[in-house]
Structure 1
Amino acid sequence: MTETIQIGPIVLRFLRSKHDTAGSLDMFEMDVAWEGRMPVPHSHRNWDETVYGLRGTLMFHVDGKPMTLDPGDTLFIPRGTVHGFENRSGTLATCLCMLTPGVLGPEYFREFGAVVAAGKPDPEVLREIMLRHGLVPVLP
């Protein structure tokens, strides 16, 4: 069953999670509104991420290098690699994200999204949530 989770200007549609893949994969489609961005650049301790462009253009920053993701492009982000993204394309951008193995699940996104939705989030609260779920934030 698909679950939709919103984090500010980002909407995720979970298609598969660790719960229904026996921990093999987390897979979600992600819409990023124009001028939307990843709230906190980070790396992952325990999984790799593969991103496939579906619509629009996202600008990723992977280990400090800019990389454009257009429809049909793929991007592999190995665990431990700091990354973030933003949508400067002037239109909605959509990509498919696959996390392997599936150890994150939708729980992190639900919790992070609730804090963002409540108003100006405390960076320390976001940091604690991220660390608890296996993400390593890079805060200013």
Structure 2
Amino acid sequence: GTLNRAKLRAHVFNNPAERLKLEALLHPAIREHALKQLAENESALHPAYQILVVPLLFENSCYGRVADKVLVIDCDESLQIKRAMARSNLSESEVKAILNAQVRRAVRLKLADEIITNGESLAELQKKVTEMHKKFIKTCIVNQ
């Protein structure tokens, strides 16, 4: 069979102990896969830097200090809710339940080394990402 994501999501966000059990199973496996991919990229490609996308980085201590820098892509909560509802076909209350299980926005922003604000168009976000890339490359060159 296939995983009924909607049913699983409803179950774990209505049962915090079940959510923690699921996260305890998934997060170590996801971390192991991510670290393996980073090592393979380093070995094969020798990139100036790598980006590890971890949506629940601050909620999950198993990552420790894997990253030299933490970049947060941020938008205000109302826009975040609107986008999540459109992307995932969830109700506002479902999105809010998911957000309530995560580290608060203010904490993420405080823990970030770099922040890109994503409250505008995709083209504007792409410009900001390009500028951050230039900054990261410059840092890599200086630190060689």
Q: TM-score, normalised by structure 2?
A: 0.25
- Larger % of strand: which? 1
Q: TM-score, normalised by structure 1?
A: 0.25
> Larger RCO: Structure 1 or Structure 2 (Cα < 8 Å, ≥ 6 residues apart)?
1
Q: Which has the larger radius of gyration?
A: 2
